[in-house]
Amino acid sequence: MNRVFVLMARDPDTGCATAAAAVVGIAPGQAGCVSWVPYQDLGEGWRARLAATTVSLEEALASWAERADGVASDVVELEAPPSPDLRGAVEAALDEILAMGRP
């Protein structure tokens, strides 16, 4: 079963982690996948964090979600969009963010 999460970064305008930086997907027995919101400067911290992660995405997500405080960062799980594959679910979720016109 696919699980899809949005990585949120702090937005100076709101004072909260309301800037979507990326969508991450995990599924049992599969390597996870990440799709970044292009040109999202506020997501640099998440990029650095992901690049330095040495455990599985599933394990990392659990830790990030546990530690996310909603102010500096957040991890929001979405209902996975229907898709034949995990990548498709992730990209469909990212499309919802892109369509908002204010990533």
For other proteins, the binding residues in 42-71 under the rule CB under 8 A are: 42, 44-55, 59-60, 63-71
* Nearest Cα to Cα of residue 95 among 37, 50, 39: 37
13 binds other proteins (CB under 8 A): yes
Judged by CB under 8 A, the chain residues 78 through 97 that form the site for other proteins are 78, 81-85, 87-89, 91-97
Minimum CB separation of residue 34 from other proteins in Å reads 8
Inter-residue contact 70 to 17 (CB < 8 Å): yes
Which of 2, 3, 10, 25 contacts other proteins by CB under 8 A? 10
Minimum CB separation of residue 32 from other proteins in Å reads 14
Q: By CB under 8 A, how many residues form the interface with other proteins?
A: 72
Order of strands across the sheet with 3-11?
33-36, 16-26, 3-11, 73-78
Residue 50 tokens read as: 């992901």
With H, G, I as helix, E, B as strand and everything else as coil, classify residue 65: helix
Cα(66)–Cα(74) distance, integer angstroms: 9
Which of 2, 9, 24, 25 contacts other proteins by CB under 8 A? 9
